[in-house]
Amino acid sequence: MRFIAVGDIHMDWANLVRIPEIDTADLLLVTGDLTNFGTATDAATVLAAIQRINPNILALAGNLDQPEVNDLLAGHGISLHGIGRRYGAIGLCGVGGSNPTPFATPNEFSEAALATLLAEGHRKVKDHDLLLVTHPPPRNTLADRLKNGAHAGSSAVRDFIEAHQPAVAICGHIHEARAMDRLGRTTIINPGMLKDGGYAVIIIENGQLHARLETLPGTRP
């Protein structure tokens, strides 16, 4: 099986069609920020465009999506926000929004709330090899580093990874922190903004998950 993960779309999905074989991927994962402070109507426009390319999608709302986008995704049966889903022998769970920011964006959660949502999703897939999908990256990693070097990720996401060691953790939120990193046995990938050409490929072979960070030709490295 082959999954493709993208994030931080912000109403600009043009690069999706440039990702090799995206239309035949078994699953497309979207890590959040479908819009820029947009409503469910705005998010539905993005979602429809994505599903015309590949209808097999699981998604999260980001901190720049209005909270109603969480409900939209849940209503379509494609949300991973506090939800665990099985895909063959693989378990997926995750959390959207973000930990608190200095900007009071629309869809933020306390670290305690994020921890509770992660635990709720994990309970349903705890006996499976785990793929974690979050909008906020784990704190103090390459995937949450701001331009000034400060770290802005979630301590709840980091604590979850350290406790449960998912094989792969895909995140977003910090645009300039496109990176791969590791925490224990967990491969962490933040693909950055879709318009900048970053995406992740997750391969499931013989029950094992392997992930890599890719960049579209002609886009920012």
- Tracing tokens 């693909």 back to the chain, one arrives at 191
Q: Give a yes or no: residue 159 inside a domain.
A: yes
**Given this model, what pLDDT does residue 88 score?**
86
CATH number at residue 174: 3.60.21.10
> Are 19 and 4 spatial neighbours (Cβ–Cβ below 8 Å)?
yes
Residue 161 in any domain: the answer is: yes
Q: Which distant-in-sequence residues (6+ apart) come within 8 Å of 40 by Cβ?
A: 66, 68, 69, 71, 72
Asked if the structure places residue 182 within a domain, the reply is: yes
Domain that holds residue 65: 2-215
> Is the pLDDT score of 90 beyond 70?
yes
Q: Is the per-residue pLDDT at 220 higher than 90?
A: no
Average pLDDT, the chain: 97
Q: Is 164 helix (H, G, I), strand (E, B) or coil?
A: helix
Q: Which pLDDT score is estimated for 221? A: 63
Q: Is residue 221 part of a domain?
A: no
In a domain, 30, yes or no: yes
Contact yes or no for 203/15 (Cβ under 8 A) = no
pLDDT tens readout for residues 114-153: 999 999 999 999 988 999 999 999 999 999 999 999 999 9
In this prediction, what percent of the chain has a pLDDT beyond 70?
99
Number of separate domains in the chain? 1
Dihedral sign for Cα atoms in the order 219, 57, 200, 151: positive
Task: Report pLDDT for 207.
Answer: 83
Average pLDDT over residues 182-211: 96
Whether 140 is covered by a domain: the verdict is yes
